[in-house]
Amino acid sequence: MHDQIVTIKSWPHMEAVPVVVGGATVTYSQAVHAVAVLSGSRTSAIAPVLRAAGNPLASCDYFAVAAPYLAWARTAPKTGRAGAAGRHVTKDAFIRAVSAALDEARQSRTRSAMRCLRADERYAAQIAADAVEVRKREHAASVRRQAEDEVTRAVAQCALTSAPCALESACGTGSCRFAPAWLRTYDIPAAPGKVKRPFAHMQAGAGFSAAPAIAAAIADAPYRPVVTVADSELVSVAEAAA
């Protein structure tokens, strides 16, 4: 549990959520920042360290905040340094308390979301539909990056040879000798673009783009979600076809 305190991270969209610690109201991200600053500090000081870091929790009643966790902190692993510096009891207890406040903020947000899900199943359907659209875009972007990398590699390899080439397809696709197996199917004329044809090509130096071939590759290998969602009065969930 002690290790979990120093590795706590901020959740997306939680940065501005208010968190109350020792009478001070700060944002979720500010509370996460306080934990990170204190966890990385080698001293037992709390307020001076937070003040130097510009964190608003420097003004909170940190003794009152730490009080419920002092017994736990006295049994926490030592830092390895000698004497009192070997165990920062109050600071560790304070970090534990702030971490607990952050945990409660996350759980509160989760409980709120669950209430919405129970109130209207279409809310869940919309979340799933939005997630599928995000994954579709990520999948298409991944295919595009891979194909563009192959085009770059093919141009570089062709530049090392003197064999003439008159292919209309983009380098690295179709009948190009340097095309990977998964792009050889797309013997499609290249579009105008910023990638330069290698010197061995009959249009050496001309700009081209593999966009048509990439679009075809994405269409042939679409993202397949694990579930499908129907936008209706009832939520329809089914395994996607293999």
Domain ranges of the chain: 2-119, 123-220
Distance CA 142, CA 218 (A): 10
pLDDT tens-place values along the chain, 242 residues long = 444 443 445 556 788 889 999 888 999 999 999 999 999 998 899 999 999 999 999 999 999 999 999 999 888 776 655 444 556 899 999 999 999 999 999 899 888 878 877 888 787 778 888 888 889 999 999 999 999 999 999 999 999 988 899 999 999 999 999 999 999 999 999 999 999 999 999 999 999 999 999 999 999 998 887 665 554 444 444 433 33
Asked whether the beta carbons of 198 and 208 are under 8 A apart, the reply is no
Distance CA 143, CA 85 (A): 54
**pLDDT value of residue 241:** 34
Asked whether the beta carbons of 35 and 99 are under 8 A apart, the reply is yes
**pLDDT value of residue 76:** 73
With 0-12 CB in 10 A as exposed, 13-18 as middle and 19+ as buried, what is 62?
Answer: buried
